[in-house]
């Protein structure tokens, strides 16, 4: 006899009795998948033993959250100043990007002073030991457990009483009372919900490793990201040495904070000065190369914008953007053609953010326009000049946020001039004598800048 099944939305986790093309809860299309229906149990007071009562907000006592410093400064920065005790943290990333390596290094850094439990559902204890030996010597505070059953893991946590637990990965975990396969919507949701209660009830910090789909989202229901306190994404190409750890959600710190690491044979190494690292090997005196200060979280980083504009061999010119918004590049190409009379309709245009960073902020507009114009006219920009600013459809250059922070970062790296919106140039004209500020109010003034 066939068991009862339900349909779950992979985006929001909503349950439906029958299949529908559109999820009635979140409106996403073709996201309902069929799985065995879960048994709903009455767990109102299963953990606390009593029914909760509301408390007046003014009577709630509050102290600053306790944080654990790992000594890995880039990791602590992304978390907002260290690991918050009792938090649930999700780390996602492509396979082989270094998620397990990073968490093992965190365990190594805390192994002498804290009790940690590393749970692996993908590798045996011997495999983890082989990888750990490459990272160095671990203290006795790290315990390993190769297990997929969350019921057994929960009992081990109660017995061992660790301060930090690592679950690698959530897609391999399963609860015995659910008949669905590991990695399914219901298993991922219920396992995460169980770990959430374990973290909050026992004041234990839990790190969850999550696999990502080809679209770059954490596999499983989208509600998974709403349940956890912090969501970190590990970005970077496997062929490249750098890795970017980015916070996309953080209840205890700023979002879009990033940490930069370099992949070495002995593990991940912190990059304390990302600007200097990103500009390594930058060609000087070459057309199409422009440096722009961008802000990620609370950090300003200098990146190189590269553009190549050449005559097309096709009826329709090609447009390619790597690391920047493709539609934004097309918009800026139209602004150049309309406001400057630059004939780009017969040219291929290629744009690249060197180093592999993905930048979406509008402050990159002026650097993109200047790089495209420099390549088209075959006139290089001075290698000691940086630029930032937002470009509108009429060709005007608008002010952007954190202008002072961007100027300071350029000056710190030894840049002698900075092109910025004229409205902000007047504000900081006399504040930084060590760097020459060049204000522009329109893209029409960029031709004069390139002619110098």
Instruction: Say if CB 5 and CB 34 are below 8 A apart.
Output: yes
Q: What is the DSSP letter of 400?
A: -
Confidence of residue 27 (pLDDT cuts 50, 70, 90): confident
Q: Give the CA-trace dihedral at 186, 191, 193, 195, to 10 degrees.
A: -170
- Assess whether pLDDT exceeds 60 at residue 28: yes
Q: Is residue 282 domain-shared with residue 413, that is, in the same domain?
A: yes
Mean pLDDT across the chain:
87
Q: What is the pLDDT of residue 20?
A: 86
Q: Is residue 337 domain-shared with residue 370, that is, in the same domain?
A: yes
| Phi and psi torsions of 72, nearest 5° | -90, 95
- Assess whether pLDDT exceeds 80 at residue 52: no
For 404-423, what is the mean pLDDT?
A: 94
Residue that terminates a domain, selected from 243, 272, 301: 272
Low-confidence winner among 3-12, 51-60, 111-120, 346-355 (lowest mean pLDDT) = 3-12
- Domain presence at residue 53: no
Residue-wise pLDDT tens digits, 225-279: 888 999 999 887 766 778 889 999 999 988 878 898 988 888 899 988 888 888 8
- Assess whether pLDDT exceeds 60 at residue 107: yes
Q: What is the pLDDT of residue 311?
A: 92
Q: What is the pLDDT of residue 421?
A: 95
Other CB atoms within a 10 A radius of the CB of residue 435 amount to: 20
Task: Say which CATH number the domain at 366 has.
Answer: 3.30.230.10
Q: Is residue 265 domain-shared with residue 284, that is, in the same domain?
A: no
- Domain presence at residue 52: no
Q: Is residue 219 domain-shared with residue 335, that is, in the same domain?
A: no
Cβ-Cβ contacts under 8 Å for 396 (sequence gap 6 or more): 441, 442
Domains of the chain: total: 3
- Domain presence at residue 47: no
Q: Is residue 288 domain-shared with residue 264, that is, in the same domain?
A: no
Q: Is residue 445 domain-shared with residue 305, that is, in the same domain?
A: yes
Q: What is the DSSP letter of 326?
A: H
Q: Is residue 261 domain-shared with residue 285, that is, in the same domain?
A: no
Confidence of residue 339 (pLDDT cuts 50, 70, 90): very high
Domain containing 181 equals 67-272
- Assess whether pLDDT exceeds 70 at residue 393: yes
For 145-166, what is the mean pLDDT?
A: 94
- Domain presence at residue 186: yes
- Cite the beta strand spans of 265-356 per DSSP E: 267-270, 289-296, 299-311, 319-322, 347-353
Both tokens assigned to 214: 């080809």
Q: Is residue 289 domain-shared with residue 242, that is, in the same domain?
A: no
Residue that terminates a domain, selected from 272, 300, 332: 272
- Domain presence at residue 402: yes
- The greatest distance separating any two alpha carbons of the chain, rounded to the nearest whole angstrom, comes to 82
Q: Is residue 234 domain-shared with residue 219, that is, in the same domain?
A: yes
Q: What is the pLDDT of residue 42?
A: 43
Q: Is residue 285 domain-shared with residue 365, that is, in the same domain?
A: yes
- Assess whether pLDDT exceeds 80 at residue 370: yes
- Domain presence at residue 372: yes
Instruction: Say if CB 102 and CB 91 are below 8 A apart.
Output: yes
- Assess whether pLDDT exceeds 90 at residue 438: yes
Cβ-Cβ contacts under 8 Å for 82 (sequence gap 6 or more): 67, 68, 69, 70, 76
Residue-wise pLDDT tens digits, 191-212: 999 999 999 999 999 999 988 7
Other CB atoms within a 10 A radius of the CB of residue 344 amount to: 19
Q: Which pTM does this prediction carry?
A: 0.78
Alpha helices in 222-264 (DSSP H): 223-227
- Domain presence at residue 241: yes
Range among 4-8, 92-96, 196-200, 358-362 rated most confident? 196-200
Q: Is residue 364 domain-shared with residue 387, that is, in the same domain?
A: yes
Q: What is the pLDDT of residue 44?
A: 40
Residue that terminates a domain, selected from 272, 306, 324: 272
Q: Is residue 446 domain-shared with residue 381, that is, in the same domain?
A: yes
Q: What is the pLDDT of residue 403?
A: 94
């Amino acid at each position: 006899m066939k068991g009862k099944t339900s349909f779950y939305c992979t985006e929001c986790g909503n349950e439906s009795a029958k299949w529908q093309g559109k999820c009635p809860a979140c409106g996403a299309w073709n996201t309902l998948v069929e799985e065995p229906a879960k048994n709903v149990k009455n767990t109102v007071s299963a953990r606390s033993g009593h029914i909760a009562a509301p408390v007046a907000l003014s009577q709630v006592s509050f102290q600053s959250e306790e944080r654990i410093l790992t000594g890995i400064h880039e990791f602590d920065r992304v978390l907002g100043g260290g690991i918050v005790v009792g938090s649930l943290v999700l780390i996602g990333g492509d396979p082989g990007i270094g998620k397990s390596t990073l968490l093992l290094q965190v365990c190594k850094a805390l192994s002498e002073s804290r009790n940690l439990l590393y749970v692996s559902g993908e590798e045996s204890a011997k495999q983890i030991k082989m990888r750990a030996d490459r990272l160095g010597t671990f203290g006795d505070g790290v315990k390993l457990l190769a297990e997929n059953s969350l019921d057994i893991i929960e009992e081990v946590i109660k017995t061992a009483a660790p301060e930090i637990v690592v679950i690698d990965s959530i897609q391999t975990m399963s609860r015995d009372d659910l008949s669905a396969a590991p990695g399914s919507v219901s298993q991922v949701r219920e396992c995460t919900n169980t770990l959430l209660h374990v973290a909050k009830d026992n004041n234990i910090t839990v790190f969850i490793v999550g696999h990502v789909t080809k679209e770059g989202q954490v596999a499983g229901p989208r509600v998974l990201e709403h349940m956890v306190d912090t969501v970190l994404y590990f970005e970077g190409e496997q062929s490249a040495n750098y890795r970017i750890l980015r916070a996309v959600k953080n209840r205890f710190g700023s979002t879009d904070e990033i940490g930069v690491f370099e992949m070495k044979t002995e593990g991940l190494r912190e990059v304390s000065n990302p600007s200097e690292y990103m500009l390594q090997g930058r060609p000087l005196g070459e057309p199409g190369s422009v440096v722009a200060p961008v802000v990620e979280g609370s950090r300003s980083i200098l990146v190189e914008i590269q553009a190549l504009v050449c005559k097309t061999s096709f009826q329709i010119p090609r447009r390619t953007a790597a690391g920047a918004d493709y539609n934004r590049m097309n918009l800026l190409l139209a602004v150049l053609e309309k406001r400057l009379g630059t004939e780009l309709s017969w040219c291929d245009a290629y744009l690249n953010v060197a180093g592999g960073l993905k930048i979406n902020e509008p402050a990159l507009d002026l650097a993109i326009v200047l790089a495209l114009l420099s390549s088209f006219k075959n006139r290089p920009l001075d290698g000691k000049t940086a630029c930032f600013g937002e470009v509108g459809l009429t060709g005007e250059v608008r002010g952007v946020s954190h202008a002072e922070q961007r100027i300071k970062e350029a000056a710190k790296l030894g840049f002698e001039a900075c092109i910025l919106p004229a409205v902000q140039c007047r504000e900081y004209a006399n504040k930084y004598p060590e760097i020459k500020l060049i204000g522009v109010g329109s893209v029409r003034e960029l031709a004069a800048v390139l002619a110098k």
